[in-house]
Amino acid sequence: EPIALAELVDEVIDQFNLIAYKKDIKLLRHLNDECIVYGDADRLEQVIRNLLDNALTYTPGGKQVEVRLEQKGEDVTLLIRDEGIGIPTKEIDAVKQRFYRVKKARERKDGGTGLGLSIVSQIIAKHGGTFSLESTENVGTTASIHLKGIL
């Protein structure tokens, strides 16, 4: 089914607004509302939820999280950028594996299972897209999703 991604992203951000507010994290959205992709809306919602959950969980209060949705030609990009604790370079691939959590996250005892990013990877692969992470420890993390949009 064709999905209006900005609407979906908006809905998920609304679900997280109170959590962000309580944590004193500013949640910014820059969404191109013309992006349409083919896919499974429930699964894509799960992707956005998992990535936003991570961004808010691994970012301290007072910082910000930005969600950006862009389209250039048929390439749709969804970026979730945080100013959090970051992921050590040597673990950037491992965190996409099931049950993998970096040591710092395990010490936080915030109850994560380490499944979120493996689910994101699987869903995006099924949609024919790509998912990547870029991160600098103690600076922040950007999760990027690329999908083919409808022109």
The least CB distance from residue 72 to ligand ATP, in Å, is 25
By CB under 6 A, residue 54 contacts ligand ATP: yes
Answer whether 133's CB lies under 8 Å from 149's CB: no
DSSP secondary structure of 91-131? GTTGGGSTT---HHHHHTT----S-HHHHHHHHHHHTT-EE
Contacts (CB under 5 A) with Mg ion, residues 113-142:
116
Region of 111 on the Ramachandran plot (φ > 0 left; ψ -120 to 50 alpha; else beta): left
The arrangement of strands across the sheet holding 75-82 comes to: 26-31, 64-72, 75-82, 140-148, 130-136
By CB under 6 A, residue 112 contacts ligand ATP: yes
* Contacting residue, 116, 123, 127, 131, with ligand ATP by CB under 6 A: 116
Q: Which stretch binds ligand ATP (CB under 6 A): 3-11, 25-33, 53-61, 121-129?
A: 53-61
By CB under 6 A, residue 86 contacts ligand ATP: yes
Pick the closer one to ligand ATP by CB: 12 or 117: 117
In the complex, the residues that contact ligand ATP under the rule CB under 6 A are 50, 54-55, 58, 82, 84-87, 95, 100-102, 105, 112-118, 141
